[in-house]
Chain A
Amino acid sequence: MKKLLTISLLGAAMVAGTAQARDYDHVRFGVDVPYEPMEYRTPEGELTGFDIDLGNALCAEMGVTCEWIEQEWDGIIPGLLARNYDAIMSSMSINDERRQTVLFSDSYITIPGAWFAPAGSSLEEISEESLAGKSIGVQRGTTYDNYATDAYGSLATINRYSTADDMVLDLEAQRLDIVFLEFVVGQSTLLDNDDGDYRVVGEMVTEPEEYFGEGFGIAFRQRDTALAERFNEALATLKEDGTYDEIFQRYFGDE
């Protein structure tokens, strides 16, 4: 009986909650740490990363204060719905499945894929002609695997690896001519750790959308349309005044 009462009270509270959206002057973000370079802690324990810096800049632009609440990934959407925080800014890809439960802001970044080859490689650009007959390394089952297989699988050899480390080992061993992976991962494993042995070939890849998705968005509760709208406006402003570029360069700069 008591239980039933609690449930109905909860239900009533939820109905009341959905009925009115409130104006926020303090926004709490849920974030799953660490995921370098999007969100992580410095050796001093300070929370930092692209999401954190951009989120703080957005709050400053909107004139609200914000707070970051750590939450593990598998409970991150339930935590939002349970009002533990008001938004999720944690490298969350926008997709239709999540759209059914949460409301997304405009995409604030699409993590690019990139082609990496040894510095001495003769590859200068990515095209069907230049990749014909080459061996391409990808991580099995990733977006990059699907894209490379569909685009170049018929004219080049695609070698699939379980981990990025195995793939890097074979690139070093010259078993692979080129690898295709998330730019950030390639940057930390290939560009940062070696003395100029590897370089990026061609442009960063973020298209087509059917492979690379719609990018990362900030997630809100469905009813908080006004809040999402404020964030979208602030994001547009930051993109215009150069703050966005500055933060982007801080984490994804070429060198």
Chain B
Amino acid sequence: MELTTWLNELLSDNLIFTPQTLGYYWEGLVTTTQLVFLSLLAGLVLAVPLAIGRSSGKRWISLPIYAYTYVFRGTPLLIQLYIIYYGVVFFDGIQETFLWPMLREAFYPALIAFTLNTAAYTTEIFRGAIKATPRGEIEAARAYGMSQALMMRRIILPSAFRRALPAYGNEVIFMLHASAIASVVTLMDLTGAARFVYARFYAPFEAFLFVAVIYLCLTFAILYLFRYLEKRLLAHLKPA
């Protein structure tokens, strides 16, 4: 109760940031966070096996994965989103299948597009880290008689993840910013809320500056998290 009176007083002398528009921004924050978090999580889960496959010596495994990452890294995310959102409806009878309740909403097509996109980038980040495993570690593991799977699990992946961490932190921030295009398929994400407020009040500066500050705060939180992780996981690389 006190909070609402305080908020109403705070907002009493401006026309744009009413409790209603702040509600839109809040809704946008929730949508953006959900979308980015879920797509990063799913992308990460997909990327680990894909990265292992991508660095495999067998071409029938690595080539299809290369084709996938090439396509998704080689085309703009906006185009991928359009194709997935508007493209699915051109399959006849899609409205009658069990998938439709999900595809009908803008959220799931956007989630699918973002997941596939971030999975492609993350795959390449991990592949690079796997490839960069020092020869000596692999030879040592072989000398111990480790199988390929055991060596992957105990030696290559743990050190590859650490090496990939800074690049992956970048990918997380890119993903947050890339999610700004979700509003083109009617999702009310942070940018969608800003565009709504802009169009409603013809106030580009207020609407977009406010949302930029929210993005900055989110980015700051991500940076802090990764700095903490790097400190913990890459401690052995710091000069003594």
A residues with a Cβ closer than 8 A to B are 140-141, 145-146, 159-162, 166, 169-170, 172-175
Contact residues in A for B7 (Cβ distance below 8 Å): none
Give the total number of A-B pairs whose CB atoms are below 8 A apart.
33
Q: B86 near A162 (CB under 8 angstroms)? A: no
Q: A141 near B186 (CB under 8 angstroms)? A: no
Q: Pick the contact of A174 from B95, B184, B186, B200 — CB < 8 Å? A: B95
Interface residues on B, range: 10 to 19
A184 to B113, CA, bound (A): 35
Contact residues in A for B86 (Cβ distance below 8 Å): 166, 169, 173
Excluding A140-B196, A170-B186, A173-B86, 12 further A-B contacts by CB distance (< 8 Å) are A140-B199, A141-B195, A141-B196, A141-B200, A160-B192, A160-B196, A169-B89, A172-B89, A173-B89, A173-B95, A175-B104, A175-B106
A to B CB contacts below 8 Å, 27 in the list: A140-B195, A140-B196, A140-B199, A141-B195, A141-B196, A141-B198, A141-B200, A145-B200, A146-B200, A159-B106, A159-B186, A160-B186, A160-B195, A161-B186, A162-B184, A166-B86, A169-B86, A170-B186, A172-B89, A173-B86, A173-B89, A173-B95, A174-B95, A174-B104, A175-B89, A175-B104, A175-B106
B55-82 CB mask vs A (1 if < 8 Å, else 0) is 0000000000000000000000000000
B175-199 CB mask vs A (1 if < 8 Å, else 0) is 0000000001010000010011011
Contact residues in A for B195 (Cβ distance below 8 Å): 140-141, 160
A169 to B192, CA, bound (A): 20
B87, chain A: closest CB distance, angstroms: 10
Nearest B residue to A140 via CB reads B199
B residues with a Cβ closer than 8 A to A are 86, 89, 95, 104, 106, 184, 186, 192, 195-196, 198-200
Contact residues in B for A141 (Cβ distance below 8 Å): 195-196, 198-200
A178, chain B: closest CB distance, angstroms: 14
A64 to B95, CA, bound (A): 60
A1, chain B: closest CB distance, angstroms: 44
For the complex of A and B, list the 7 residue pairs with the smallest distance between their C-beta atoms, beginning with the closest.
Answer: A141-B199, A173-B89, A159-B186, A174-B95, A140-B199, A175-B104, A160-B186
A216, chain B: closest CB distance, angstroms: 21
Nearest A residue to B187 via CB reads A159
Contact residues in B for A145 (Cβ distance below 8 Å): 199-200
A162 to B78, CA, bound (A): 14
A241, chain B: closest CB distance, angstroms: 42
A50, chain B: closest CB distance, angstroms: 28
Nearest A residue to B109 via CB reads A175
Contact residues in B for A161 (Cβ distance below 8 Å): 186
A183 to B106, CA, bound (A): 26
A172 to B92, CA, bound (A): 12
A159 to B200, CA, bound (A): 15
> Among A145, A162, A169, A175, which residue has the most Cβ atoms of chain B within 10 A?
A175
A69 to B117, CA, bound (A): 53
